[in-house]
Chains A and B, each alone.
Chain A
Amino acid sequence: MTVSETSDVKANRLSSAEYVDNFSDIHPPLTPHEALVEADRCYFCYDAPCMTACPTSIDIPMFIRKIQAGNPVGSAKTIFEQNIMGGMCARVCPTETLCEEVCVRETAEGKPVKIGLLQRYATDTFMEREQSHPFTRATPTGRKIAVIGAGPAGLSCAHRLATLGHDVTVYEAREKAGGLNEYGIASYKTTNDFAQDEVDFILQIGGITIENGKALGRDVTLEQLTADFDAVFLGVGLPGVNALGVDGDDAAGVIDAVDFIGVLRQADDLSLLEVGRRVVVIGGGMTAIDAAMQAKLLGAEEVTVTYRRGQEHMNASLYEQELAQTHGIAIRHWLMPKSLEVLDGAVSAITLEKTALDASGKLAGTGETVTIQADQVFKAIGQTPDAGPLAGVSITLEKGRISVDENRRTSHQKIWAGGDCVAGGEDLTVVSVEDGKIAAESIHKALMA
């Protein structure tokens, strides 16, 4: 769809072998030998810092010891007890800022135990070897809970509730369950349809029904759900995307990074996906890096990530930043979008203004600008909540996000919430899983009181 001489957006930039190679597992799993060598490095710490740093409090020393002792299946059970999405978290957690950052071997040698890869080894081994589910449902309680959103928070909540004996119906707007695991994470992090395998694994517990294509506010309402069910859990994520706030936002080639990732994840044939020769990604989070990486891997020649603040302010982990840089992606800091140049309806360049913190510490433009040629501009400047579907019941919000207490209970007696849609979250898969788990325990306690 080349619309002008300057715009170069096309599909099929690579050979079929390059597509396969570029979108294979970026961090290959450990072999059994590698896993044993790595597991032997763990000191089995007391009150282990890694365990404290894990948002789901996985007993990391214990699961690693089970790998050492030749029991990877038992190791996976230890992981799943705290985090039923231990498999996905092993792939996408920024371990370098969580468990591995505080590993005592990081303190001692600057080389933490590869906890994430060991977790993947254990959970992969379990899912390959075991046909049965690691947990058994408690005696049915007869209680019914509605979960809105089949993302990490919703599925985690549903699984824990089902395990405790409750019946759960999950309403999911999209065609598939999994949420961002299915639609929002770079494909090289979760290959071979792992997200759907994990959903299937979670559903093995029984007692969970997923209703796909049912959106809150359109097909179901909170008013009705709170009447029909004993409790409701909201795990609706952040459906909106921030606007750039400059003219030309609607030009061809200006794309939401989340949509780009979602389309790529669902594509059967990557060679049919169009990508620009020169791509600029606006943003500093994981989504910006994921989008930039995938554009590069699809064959874009020049990929630049621009971020309005400094490197130290980026939400993407240092590890992810370096990954992008070693793949030839330029990351430029202290730049904010000023205007888009549009030729024949398609973007051809973006002009950015240099920024700095003023005396009061506030971000401000310096007046100096740079222009970068771009066939595509990806917006990855944050996702936004949508309070619309919550209409009909009274729930306290905080800057648009749902306000919850420490048990993930909202201001409404029958409604709990978790994941990216709640206020104060960290927008991490593992945090969403923990939210769902805590909410489930709280719902259970409330219903069984």
Chain B
Amino acid sequence: MADLSTNFLGIKSPNPFWLASAPPTDKAYNVERAFEAGWGGVVWKTLGEAGPPVVNVNGPRYGAIWGPDRRLLGLNNIELITDRDLEINLREIREVKKRWPDRAMIVSIMVPCEEASWKAILPRVEDTGADGIELNFGCPHGMSERGMGAAVGQVPEYIQMVAEWCKQYSKMPVIVKLTPNITDIRYPARAAKAGGADAVSLINTISSIVSVDLDNFAPMPTIDGKGSHGGYCGPAVKPIALNMVAEIARDAETRGLPISGIGGVQTWRDAAEFIALGCGTVQVCTAAMTYGFKIVQEMAQGLSDWMDEKGYETIADFQGRAVPNVTDWQYLNLNYITKAKIDQDLCIKCGRCHIACEDTSHQAITSMVDGVRHFEVMDDECVGCNLCVNVCPVDDCITMVQMTEGSDPRTGQSINNDYANWTTHPNNPMAKQAAE
């Protein structure tokens, strides 16, 4: 059995699966159910400053997009931070942490961007016995209009400033949660590090209009005929999150900065991918909100089984293993040549590979051979683009096979097994000598 336990900034949890700050972590009832189901930790839903709590809309808060069979692919929300009283939240955090000492208890905080506000709340959170704090600089709707959430996260100087206050007024580990609603994720990450933050977590939700009601001509979810942009999450955002995580993991200034990965984690495999890109833990929300807390059992077991199969004893054994392989396009090997190959025994003859290639790509797949429907790759036309693999409904029916000898029938050029990239390519006006 692989050891799934994690130590993130000194915060221990029995597995790397934390529930992200969101409705599932808004109160003791939910969090205890989550811990009973097996979640390794939670980030308690964002607390605001003392005083009258925020109010939420009383109409629909969520919108969604679906795949076939109405599988939820992306969820969007216009909910705000906790709308419960600060005192009640703090009391419950203390009680739950006491009852579940082996689980990670992180508290998300969002107060106005003033030193006094942070100075006031930090000791009160620390007093609960919580393991750490996460600064919500990401929420793209509602709170950002009040100068909080993404309004802070989009200004690196503010991130640094608030991170500094948090380090100054508390001993707790500080995680800065980053908004993806910026052009280059490295700048806010660098600012967090400069401010002394112990880690970053990303991504928060993406500003979005998830759909338009064509009867009322208003964004969904619609509140009395109007809609507002919300925060987008779920499986659809995972690729964006992975890229941003990788950007931080391989940036010279932030390399080694601990990361808690967030964005569309649905299965153990998604989690393993975030960890491979350097994350120490992953945070999950939409999957739990779709299927309930029990899914963590699939995630934990799946990750453990995969680690056993691969011979990884601890999370650290594979954490960050994919980071060195994330590179810039210009360094990709232009001598690496692949051709698609269709396994005729697995092929169900739907013809989608053919029409995708024929209509939209390189006319490299047959549809008829000797008067019979037959789908076969023509190596002399195939550029190895992988589109056919992606549109094929059958797993592993079409694969990309590397050519290692002979010549490429498309270009007529001999296969060269030496690495060569764009930086040295003769067509590149900026070409330079190959680096050692």
Contact = CB atoms under 8 A, between A and B. Distances in A.
B355 A46 contact: yes
B349 interface: yes
Interface in A353-376: none
Contact of A49 (B69, B349, B355, B367): B349
Interface stretch (A37-45, A91-99, A171-179, A409-417): A37-45
Contacts of A107: 348-349
A104 interface: yes
Which residue, of B349, B354, B394, has the highest number of chain A Cβ atoms within 10 A? B349
A44 B368 CA distance: 18
Contacts of A41: 68
A104 B350 contact: yes
B70 A43 contact: no
Nearest to B346: A108
Contacts of A105: 348
Interface in A98-131: 104-105, 107-108
B400 to A, nearest CB: 21
Contacts of A49: 349, 373
B351 interface: yes
B348 A37 contact: no
B69 A43 contact: no
A104 B348 CA distance: 6
A104 B354 CA distance: 15
A274 to B, nearest CB: 49
Contacts of B60: none
B69 A40 contact: yes
B352 interface: yes
Size bin of chain A's contact surface: 10 to 19
Nearest to A46: B351
A179 B352 CA distance: 41
B225 interface: no
A274 B368 CA distance: 57
A44 B352 CA distance: 8
A108 B355 contact: no
B373 A47 contact: yes
B350 A40 contact: no
Interface of B: 68-70, 348-352, 354-355, 367-368, 373, 393-394
Given A47-B373, A104-B350, 11 more contacts: A37-B69, A40-B69, A41-B68, A43-B352, A44-B352, A46-B350, A46-B354, A47-B367, A48-B351, A49-B373, A104-B349
Interface of A: 36-37, 40-41, 43-49, 104-105, 107-108
22 contacts: A37-B69, A40-B68, A40-B70, A43-B352, A43-B393, A45-B350, A45-B351, A45-B352, A46-B350, A46-B352, A46-B355, A46-B367, A47-B354, A47-B367, A47-B373, A48-B351, A49-B373, A104-B348, A104-B349, A104-B350, A108-B348, A108-B393
